Amino acid sequence: MSELLNFNYPPEQAVERVTFFADVILPLPLPKLYTYRIPFEMNDEVLVGARVIVQFGSKKVLSCIVAEIHQNAPAEYQAKYILDVLDDKPIITTPQLKLFKWIADYYMCTLGEVINAALPSALKLSSESRIQLHPHYNPEEDELILAPQEEKIIYALQHNQALTFSDVGTLLQLKSYHKFIKSLIQKEAIIIYEQVSDKFSPKVVKKLRISEHFVQDEGMLEELFNQLAPQPKQLDVLLNYLQKVPVHQDIHLNYKGITKSELANSPHLSASSINTLIKKGVLEQFDQVVSRFPVEHQAKLLPMALSEHQAKAKDEILGLFKEKDTVLLHGVTGSGKTEVYIDLIKHALDSGGQVLYLLPEIALTAQIVQRLMKVFGDKLGVYHSKFSDNERAEVWQGILSGRFQVVVGVRSSVFLPFHDLSLVIIDEEHEASYKQYDPAPRYNARETALMMAHLQGAKTLLGSATPSVETYYNCKTGRWGLVEMTKRFGEAQLPDIELVNTREEQHRKNMHSHFSGKLLTAIEERLNRKEQVILFQNRRGYAPFISCEECSWIPKCRHCAVSLSYHKYNNELRCHYCGYHERMPHDCPACGATTLKSMGFGTEKVEDELKLLLPNADVQRMDLDTTKKKNSYQQIIADFETGKTNVLVGTQMVTKGLDFEHVSLVGILNADTIINFPDFRAHERAYQLFVQVSGRAGRKEKPGAVIIQTRDPLQPIFRKVRSNDYLSLYEHEIEERMRFVYPPFVRMIKVTVKHMDERVAENAAIVLAKDLTDRMGKQQVLGPEVPYIFKIRNLFLQEVHIKLPRETTNLRAAKSQIAQAIFNLKLLPDFKDVRIVADVDPV
């Protein structure tokens, strides 16, 4: 806790003293850094990257990060003093600060937003607004006209140093008390401040040890034995302690002590004699701070010996790293890329650097962490959002202290305080989930990690069986190195892929709900052979919408322009955009008929129906709905690994990276919705998805098969998927991108205009698009247009797309033009409450 009431700093000091100023990052979306003056006596204490406390505005006290220290007083305002210093060591490293500035710049947001996203909340400070008397206000002397409620507040403040807002509510017995606080602030009778407290709480265990004076020399211990001789039970406790903590061999062992339960864990020891010894002062209790990640994972195994192909790939990568900073490992599914990564990580750690291993999704961490833990033991840190705040803060600090040298994590791990990175691995580099949509910073962890590596002189290895077109293009043009692995590890073969025409099957009455006879038989066969099956459907819930057969009524979200999905397990209709939900009605609210029918299908329905169709299947589902709890991923994956379940149904979570020995069949229930998605990347995405999910089959000895259900088997993409022909996909795509001017030939920035009123949104977008066109030219500005989903959370949306030719654009200048256009728009009275979001490199 810091007392923050010290507003009276001593007057200006003697002249020879050097005056320093600090630019700080406040946790607010402010466009600029604020400059504060460092009180002379804190000159040595204020450090770049550490947290300090400052007063912001006239009413707020906040914690913030020092970004820079210099001697230039701000020209525009009188700098206030820093009030207090919180950290004696930086919690943000210098390369990290540089990276944060790059993110803010590149993704067009503020440093405050970056810091907010970056710091685990346990390292942010919690603050609660409180009020106190204004330092210049003396209720006894100054005459202010106060309302009776205001007088009550002042009276209370004369007797208590401070009140929280809720105290004021209780005091006045009123719900709407804020107006009195506001009025007192205006009258300068009170001020608001924030009580700041550190939220990170270390984990503490209670332990016991022999009180210090008994172990200072051997005589004392002997003396103690004599004293306790008449009490055999107590003597037993002491002997048991010494057996477990042999203090007589090494005095220092006593310092670590033992927990009470460990001490009591012996047949004839009584808890009461332990308590007596504590009371007598023979044993003392103390608190010990322990890690939330106990050191039980000593590295046990050497990495697996690399196969010839793997060793060759590794040598090629290391060779290319001599000339290039970035290399792509393009290896087919199951080619054993992970072992190559492990080998390279070992190599990097041996030479003393840090390693970051990025994965696109939590579902993937479970298996990879297991594999890495065996090799790297407790040097390995794990970082993702299913961890508690305190756990994340501990990983953060573990990297600063050098405890964790290699970290596996998802998107947000690019914010971690590395300072000596030598290798970054970006696994499944093609994944769209590396991009953050909302809120700002709307960063792509792949690009951010590349920049982080660049800033720290580290090498980056991207890996994928289905690289993104942009990445492959960088390799083809020679900017990045390329290493290929074209065969699966060992004897394993790529699976056979078969297409089932669901339109025809329907005619032949060969569809059992959403399963073709062929798929169903194939599943049954595998289960009879004690093999396993993965089924993919790209929607969660039971059905994407319901409809009345009589009157065609379809329930829609109240806040978004989408239909509500039906979730059967809780009989609910739910919006997947805003979370709005309501009970599934029994009969149609429009016409009253009882003919509501679910349309289309999601993972929940697949699970349900399969259980009916094949009663001997042990089906488990993995999607957003079944993985809300902290350990649910691990549980689902472990159950499938051990054979407790034999069919895994899921959304894109089951499609990539997972490695199961006994999966010999993969089924894609409906390929059509994936192919027909309206986006310039749709084709690429569909290819990636089909190849990745197919790649889960036949990874070890058992040969794999894939069944894809579609109404249109002649789609050219299937030919490429079946022959695993990435190159032909790439060539087709890159030609289209060139012809229709899309990335990688241009950078795109999507500007979304949002407003409650459809007309206002539309007009604002027109004005904005016009201004942008005037600035940048017709070629570069597209729109405005109404997106496919035109309303989300009660805001109507309009989009303007900007295309910036990669080779010729001055990106910084272009972004500043865009920012200026947005700024100007907001100055117009009609549009002042329009919300505008710029998304750089949208995916």
Ligand X SMILES: Nc1ncnc2c1ncn2[C@@H]1O[C@H](COP(=O)(O)OP(=O)(O)OP(=O)(O)O)[C@@H](O)[C@H]1O
Q: Determine, following the binding rule CB under 6 A, whether residue 360 of this chain makes contact with ligand X.
A: no
Of 237, 243, 241, nearest to 270 (Cα)? 237
Contacts of 49 (CB under 8 A, 6+ apart): 65, 66, 90, 91, 92, 93, 94, 96, 97
Q: Which is nearer to ligand X, 331 or 650 (CB)?
A: 331
Angle subtended at Cα 268 by Cα 265 and Cα 273, rounded to the nearest 5 degrees: 85
Q: Which is nearer to Zn ion, 139 or 787 (CB)?
A: 787
Q: Determine, following the binding rule CB under 6 A, whether residue 487 of this chain makes contact with ligand X.
A: no
Helix (H, G, I), strand (E, B) or coil at 166: helix
Binding residue (CB under 6 A) for ligand X from 21, 434, 480, 489: 489
Helix/strand/coil percent split, the chain, to 5? 35, 25, 40
Q: Which is nearer to Zn ion, 311 or 789 (CB)?
A: 789
Whether 578 has a binding-site annotation, put simply, is yes
Alpha helices in 121-163 (DSSP H): 148-159
Q: At what angle do helices 178-186 and 165-172 cross, to 10 degrees?
A: 110
329 binds, options Zn ion, ligand X, none, Cβ within 5 to 8 A by partner type: none
**Integer Cα distance of 380 and 413 in angstroms:** 13
Q: Which is nearer to ligand X, 193 or 660 (CB)?
A: 660
Tokens 């940048």 found at: 776
495 binds, options ligand X, Zn ion, none, Cβ within 5 to 8 A by partner type: none
Written as one string, the DSSP assignment of 594-615 is S-EEEES--HHHHHHHHHHH-T
Q: Which is nearer to ligand X, 209 or 330 (CB)?
A: 330
**Integer Cα distance of 84 and 570 in angstroms:** 51
Min dist CB 437 to ligand X, Å, is: 25
Q: Which is nearer to ligand X, 26 or 332 (CB)?
A: 332
Q: Which is nearer to Zn ion, 347 or 559 (CB)?
A: 559
**Integer Cα distance of 73 and 424 in angstroms:** 40
Residues 459-478 touching ligand X, rule: CB under 6 A, are 465
Whether 64 has a binding-site annotation, put simply, is no
Q: Which is nearer to ligand X, 125 or 693 (CB)?
A: 693
**What does each C-alpha distance from 345 to 335, 397, 549 come to in angstroms?**
18, 21, 59
Tokens 């007088």 found at: 151
Binding residue (CB under 6 A) for ligand X from 27, 49, 331, 353: 331
**Integer Cα distance of 131 and 561 in angstroms:** 44
Whether 548 has a binding-site annotation, put simply, is yes
**Contact, 194 vs 129, CB < 8 A?**
yes
Q: Determine, following the binding rule CB under 6 A, whether residue 304 of this chain makes contact with ligand X.
A: yes
Min dist CB 597 to Zn ion, Å, is: 22
Binding residue (CB under 6 A) for ligand X from 207, 337, 662, 803: 337
Angle subtended at Cα 254 by Cα 251 and Cα 256, rounded to the nearest 5 degrees: 130
**665: part of which helix (H) or strand (E)?**
strand 663-668
575 binds, options ligand X, Zn ion, none, Cβ within 5 to 8 A by partner type: Zn ion
Helix (H, G, I), strand (E, B) or coil at 208: strand
Structure tokens at 158: 């004369």
Site string for Zn ion, 147-186 (x = CB under 5 A): ----------------------------------------
Min dist CB 564 to Zn ion, Å, is: 8
Whether 588 has a binding-site annotation, put simply, is yes
In the 8-state DSSP scheme, what is residue 39?
P
Binding residue (CB under 6 A) for ligand X from 93, 149, 326, 335: 335
Q: At what angle do helices 682-694 and 726-739 cross, to 10 degrees?
A: 170
557 binds, options ligand X, Zn ion, none, Cβ within 5 to 8 A by partner type: Zn ion
Site string for Zn ion, 536-575 (x = CB under 5 A): ---------------------x-xx--------------x
Binding residues with Zn ion: total (CB under 5 A): 7
Binding residue (CB under 6 A) for ligand X from 130, 699, 732, 750: 699
Select the span of 99-107, 217-225, 336-344, 523-531 touching ligand X (CB under 6 A). Answer: 336-344
**Contact, 172 vs 153, CB < 8 A?**
yes
Phi, psi of 582 (to 5 degrees): -145, 165
Whether 551 has a binding-site annotation, put simply, is yes
Q: Which is nearer to ligand X, 76 or 308 (CB)?
A: 308
**Contact, 719 vs 683, CB < 8 A?**
no
Binding residues for Zn ion, rule: CB under 5 A, are 557, 559-560, 575, 577-578, 580
Binding residues for ligand X, rule: CB under 6 A, are 304-307, 310, 331, 333-339, 465, 489, 657, 659, 695, 699
Task: Tell me the binding residues for Zn(2+).
Answer: 548, 551, 557, 560, 575, 578, 588, 591
Task: Tell me the binding residues.
Answer: 548, 551, 557, 560, 575, 578, 588, 591
